[in-house]
Structure formats: C-alpha cells, structure tokens
Chains A and B, each alone.
Chain A
Amino acid sequence: MAANTGTYLIQGAAILGGEPADLLIRDGIIAEIGSGLSPVGQDGGATVIDATGLVALPGMVDVHTHLREPGREDAETVETGTRAAALGGYTAVHAMANSTPVADTAGVVEQVYTLGRAAGWVDVRPVGAVTVGLAGEQLAELGAMADSRARVRMFSDDGICVHDPVLMRRALEYVKAFDGVVAQHAQEPRLTAGAQMNEGDVSAVLGLTGWPAVAEESIIARDVLLAQHVGSRLHVCHVSTAGSVEIIRWAKERGIDVTAEVTPHHLLLTDDLVRSYDPVFKVNPPLRTDADVQALRAGLADGTIDVVGTDHAPHPSEHKECEWAQAAMGMTGLETALSVVQHAMIDTGLMTWADFARVTSTAAAKIGRLSDQGRPIEAGEPANLILVDPAARWTVDPFQMATMGRNSPFKGRELPGKVVATFFKGHPTVLDGALNTPHPEAAATPAGAA
C-alpha cells in the first residue's frame, strides 16, 4: 500500500447512499469514519472536501475495457483510457487482450501492466488471451501470464468466441490451476456470419444481416454445462438477451459457478436506434429489443447478472464515419457508465446505491481476484473510493471526454449523476469533477520498463 499520498477529510458523504458521515483518508487507507472528524490531526492539516449531498462508493472496477495499446494507439492508449476510467469513477480496469500484438504472452501482459502502473490513474489488470492470436486453435501460455508480474486471472478471446467446445473445456479446466476464470464472448460464429445488428423486426425492415439471440444463448447454455461438468469458473461477457438471462439464472440455481456481465448500453439502448444507420450504434453483441433491456435490468437487479462491464471500445472517427456495414463495432463507455446505470437502475427504483456498489465494484473485483479493490468502505480498508453527485445532470459531449474515442452512443443525451472525486489508493485522481494528478507511485515507474 502506498504511503505519503496525503491526508483528506471528506465531510458529510452518504456512504453507499446512507447517512452522511466523515471519512478521513490518510496514506492510502481509510483511517477513520465518523461524524465531526477534525481536519487537524496528529500529522498536520488534512485537505477538506465538502461532500454534502454526495454519495461515497467504492471505486468502480471494470471487468471489460479495451485500451487498444499496444497496436492501435490511434484509437486509445493506456494513458488516455485510464484517464477516462478515473473520470468515470473507476479505480481498476481489466484491459482486454485483443491488442496488436495480442496479449497472449507474459511479455505483452507485462507491458500493458507496466504502462498502467506508469500512467497511475487506475489499476490496470491485463486480461490474457485464451488462445494464441485469438485464433481459437491452441491455448496461449495461460500459466505464464498468471505467473507474470501482471498476475493475470481473467482470460478471454473477447471479440471472438472460443467456439470449439473441446478447446473451451480445456481452457476452463486449465485455469483452475491458478484460480483463473475464462470470460467468454458468447457468439456462435456460423449463426452470425456477416451479422450487422440484432435479428428481428428492425433488421427485417432495414435489410441488415441479423445477429440472432440464439447465437449467444446457445453458447452460454453449452458453456454453463461445460463449467458444471469440469467444475470450473465461467464468466459470460456482455450478456445481451432475455434468453441469456434465463439460462444464467437456471445455471446459478443449479449451483454452477458462473458470473455474468451486462454493459451500460444494453441496459438503455435498443435496436430501434439502428434505423438511423448511424454506426455509432453498431456494437457487438448488438443492441437488442426493449424486452431484452427490461430482462437485463431485472437480471442485474436480482443478482443473476453480477456486474456491469463497459466494453469500452474506442475507435478512430474514420471507422465510424462510413457505411454501416463498413463500420467498426463498439462504443465508448467509461465516462458514461455511472450515469447510465444510475439512470437505468437507480432512478427507476430497481437498485440502491449499495446495489450499485456491488455490481460496479465488489462483485467485479471478486471476479478478477483483485484483493484491494471492491472493498467495504470501512476504517483500515484501502482508500479506493469515489464521490458521486446523484443530483447532477449533464449532457453527453464526446468531444469533452478524456477517451480518444468519439463514438459515444449517448451523445447529446442528458444523463443524471456525476463523479465529483475519485480516490485511487488514497490519492485523488479526480477532484471537482476534473482530472487531478496520477498516483505519485506512477512517477517512480518508467513507462518502458518490462
């Protein structure tokens, strides 16, 4: 745990939306929680932060982020992506493996890990590829990545489904050796050849090749049965259909060790938006129907879906300023996730802020096996926490974001909730809703170090 990150007294924050309390943060730790705490302690004055009307939450943990580095630094870098993460209320992100080169060796995951340390905005936890080059043919050196300094615990070929059932079985079994988890991008490839959008009423009219719900659901059904058979831990990325929620609910009732994630955009947006043919709404898995949105919300509220994962996927503008079929799939999400989840889940009465902490932090840290993230807000715990103004309203402007990606599907929408401050290991990376400075440890980490 870092030392010398200063002393901060947060006054009157509603912890998990409860009664207001003061929090004293000192040297990376929540030193004290109480009422009427004095800013003048034994080691001198604390910086006082008036948190009246703000909610204190554990720092958010994203299980699904595309930072694009190495390889597509024109889309995003670890530096810009983690700035966006801090602004969005995150203190840890899992960087997906589909970089160039693919994060399928200890060398690449250590590079990403080191870049994250050097940036100093959040914990960057690299995700290792399941198969060499995401090719779906041969297991990558999962053990070497687990044993590396990046201590990889989550493995995923995200973007591509591990569709070979034997390979999936072996991966599920193998990662048991180091308490790993396979995060599956559930997409039956033959059923989705050339797929452009959700298959249904809208695709029929628009003449865009459909991505049927069954292509996701059939893989999830297979994988939960495989996980049960070999007694492994399975994580399902970006669940998007009502049927998937039902299958996961069924699996959990049977005691299968499966966790699932939903993106903010699948909690709010539907395939009706594709009628514009604006590729900002092109994403994989695709936007579904309102019935799916409602089922995903219910599943997140009742715990069937464990976590919110952004699937933050920045793209250069030329990959979106084109025909729908030519456009890249993906949306940015780090800087809008909190607001969208508040809008879809809290302002609708489906969840409390305590539930929010569970699905954006506690459960996510548990899936990724991050020991010092997603912790309770209690004295003696690491000071990874955020202050949120739930009464704030703001209009999304992609050009005002820290991410390099301008592909936000929420552009122009007014959303509730704003991250006022982010404390990462006791250091405020965000203050007054704006970037502050990276964690002081970052200065001690040379970016090029391996």
Chain B
Amino acid sequence: MKHLLSTEDLSRSNAIRILDTAEEMSAVGEREVKKLPALRGRTVVNLFFEDSTRTRISFEAAAKRLSADVINFAAKGSSVSKGESLKDTAQTLSAMGADAVVIRHWASGAPHRLAATDWIDAAVINAGDGTHEHPTQALLDAFTMRRHWARLAGTGSEGTDLKGMRVAIAGDVLHSRVARSNVWLLRTLGAEVTLVAPPTLLPVGVEKWPCSVSYNLDDTLVNGVDAVMMLRVQGERMNASFFPSTREYSRRWGFDDNRLRALDDLGMTDTIIMHPGPMNRGLEISAAAADSPRSTVLAQVRNGVSVRMAALYLLLSGDTREPAPHRAPAFAAAAPSTKESN
C-alpha cells in the first residue's frame, strides 16, 4: 500500500492488517505515555480544503502519537480563482519534504489526483473527498463493529472479520462518502449491509451495489440488525426537495425514541447504534438513542485515532513484516501476515 484512497480497492488482507495494527495502536492509547517513536523525523501534512475539526484533530493526534512532525494546512477556498491550485499546493508541500499528505477535499477524486499525478511523491491518505469516500471513517467503524462482533463471539478481534453481521446504514446515502466507504469495506469483511433511505437520497445505480436497499427503517429493524449506523442529514438538503420536511424525515428515517424502544421490544439486546458525527440530535438520531448504552459514538471517535495511527504507520513505515525501530512490546504481536488465510 502506497496510498489509502478508498475502501473500494482495499483488499481484505490489507483491511484486516490495518484493523489488527489499530488494535496494537489502541493498546498504546491506554498507556500512561501514549507515544511511539515509529515515525520520528517523518512529516505528515494535514491538507484540509474543507473544514473538519474532528477529522483533523484525530489525524493530528494519530500522527503525534507516532512521533511524526505535523503540519496543518487549511487550504480553504473553493475555486481556482480564489487561490492556489491543487497542483501548486501539492508541489509546495513536496518541496517542503512532506512524507504523507492527509487530504480532506470538497471535490470527489481530489486525493486520487494527488496520488496519480507527479505533483507530489508523498503517501496520500484520503480524509474524505466530496461525496466519494472516507476510508478511515469506514475503517474506524469496522474496527468498532469488529470489537463488538468478536466480544459477542467470545473471542479476541485480531484477525477476525464481520462475517454474518447485519448492518443497516440509514440516511442520506446519495451525498455520503461515509456510506460509500462503509458499503465497500463491510462487503469485503463479510457483513450484510442494508441501506435505508428515502428514494431521493439513494444514487441512481445503487442497485448494483453489494447490499440491499430499503425505504423502511422499521421493516429493517424487525428483520433483525446487529448495528444501525445513522448518517448525518446536511442542512443544504433540507430545502432541495429531497424530502418534504425535517419532521417527516425524522419520523420515517430518524432513529427516534420509538425505534430505540423497538430494539428492546424485539429482543435485540446486542444491537449497537452508530453515528459518524457530528450528530443532528432530534433529526436523524434522538438524544436518548445517542446517549444510550447502545451508542458507540464516542468509541468510534476513540477508535478513529487508533485506526489513523495504523494507516499512517503502515503507509510510512512500509511493509509491516519488517520490524519497526524501537517499537513497543505491545506492538510486537502485530504480525498480521499469518492472518491472511482467514
């Protein structure tokens, strides 16, 4: 792996390698000194063309825990006329010696452009591009689900996948990079995915995706589900006739208190509720659902740092089978090559 651009082209062995490495990184996060020297002397640039404090600080924390030097570059401005081109920005970062570029961009495919051109030689990590993909979000979601799924199975999570897990992803799939990345990754890991959305918020062509589609959240819950992931409804959709009103949206596709009770009534004691954040409480998720013991929202945030540490480590230190210098004892167990036969 030279770059992490999408989950669509992420192999099962690489996905599990990242998740297993993230487990090792997670152990570092629980120590008193939350730091590894693995990327000492390496430079990671957070190149953000779109505001996202949560994702940026998660990557920043990840890079710093690996002892990398971190540069935050907020390249806001949405058109060529307003500022420097992506090419010039990339070449500038290259000249400064960036080893990895974590890029968030409002334009789908911008990370692919960085990786495919000769503008910069650094490793490129897609931190969310337009309505295309957000691979580290999907990886942290899968990490969270995998821990849950392994715990239910009474095993450790390393080396395991999500075979048989039923996951519902509900909301604005059309505009969601989180949904896309999750669909591909969850398929790769063996989960059964159902997208639940108003027909207006599903892309033309979704019927070819490796998942089922439902217009009815209640039916999906009744049919049985192990994880429900609620997607954020963007404000700009509300006045573009994608749905009649926020109240109707909330009633039909929001995870409200009635649906929270329904999980109990249906006996689905182990079903978790996920949200990539930031949440619109009262719209796609009720406060009670967000704060319930089923909610994994904060675990997702915590796991995000571990997954991003793993991605940075694997991309910047090359093949994981080679020992990293000065690595922590907990890390020594991360020999994922033996798990590829799973």
Q: Which residues of A does B touch, CB under 8 Å?
A: 196, 199-210, 212, 276-278, 318, 321-326
Contact = CB atoms under 8 A, between A and B. Distances in A.
Interface stretch (B128-136, B160-168, B266-274): B128-136
A89 to B, nearest CB: 33
A200 B207 CA distance: 10
B204 A199 contact: yes
Contacts of B79: 326
Contacts of B205: 199-205
Interface string B6-40: 00100000000000000000000000000000000
Contacts of B80: 318, 322, 326
Contact of B108 (A201, A207, A278, A322): A207
A201 B208 contact: yes
A202 B203 CA distance: 10
A322 B79 CA distance: 10
Given A277-B109, A323-B107, A326-B107, A204 B204 contact: yes
A210 B180 CA distance: 16
Given A201-B205, A204-B205, A205-B8, A323 B131 contact: no
B87 interface: yes
Given A212-B204, A277-B109, A207 B209 contact: no
A207 B204 contact: no
Contacts of A208: 108-109, 130-132
A323 B204 contact: no
Given A277-B116, A325-B107, 19 more contacts: A196-B108, A200-B204, A204-B205, A204-B209, A206-B108, A207-B129, A207-B131, A207-B180, A208-B108, A210-B203, A212-B204, A277-B108, A318-B80, A322-B87, A323-B113, A324-B113, A325-B108, A325-B109, A326-B80
Contact of B177 (A201, A203, A207, A277): A207
A326 B113 CA distance: 12
Interface of B: 8, 79-80, 85-87, 105-110, 112-113, 116-117, 129-133, 177, 180, 203-206, 208-209
Contacts of A202: 205
A254 to B, nearest CB: 31
Nearest to B173: A204
Contacts, number: 81
B240 to A, nearest CB: 10
Contacts of A277: 108-110, 112-113, 116
Contacts of A324: 107-110, 113
A325 B112 CA distance: 13
B204 A321 contact: no
A212 B79 CA distance: 25
A206 to B, nearest CB: 6
24 contacts: A201-B205, A201-B208, A203-B204, A204-B204, A204-B206, A204-B209, A205-B180, A207-B130, A207-B131, A207-B133, A208-B130, A208-B132, A210-B203, A278-B113, A318-B85, A318-B87, A321-B87, A322-B85, A323-B110, A323-B113, A324-B108, A325-B106, A325-B130, A326-B86
Contact of B203 (A203, A321, A322, A325): A203
A276 B79 CA distance: 21
Contact of A207 (B85, B116, B132): B132
A321 B209 CA distance: 31
Nearest to B179: A207
A206 B85 CA distance: 22
A210 B108 CA distance: 13
Contacts of A201: 205, 208
Nearest to A199: B204
Contacts of A199: 204-205
The 5 closest A-B pairs by CB, nearest first: A204-B205, A277-B109, A207-B132, A207-B131, A204-B203
A325 B80 CA distance: 11
A278 B132 contact: no
B84 to A, nearest CB: 11
Between A196, A199, A324, the greatest number of chain B beta carbons within 10 A of the residue's beta carbon is seen for A324
Contacts of A209: 131
A325 B180 CA distance: 19
Contacts of B129: 207
Between A277, A322, A324, the greatest number of chain B beta carbons within 10 A of the residue's beta carbon is seen for A277
Nearest to A278: B116
Contacts of A326: 79-80, 86, 107
A260 to B, nearest CB: 25
A206 B111 CA distance: 12
Given A205-B8, A206-B132, A323 B105 contact: yes
Contact of A276 (B112, B131, B177, B206): B112
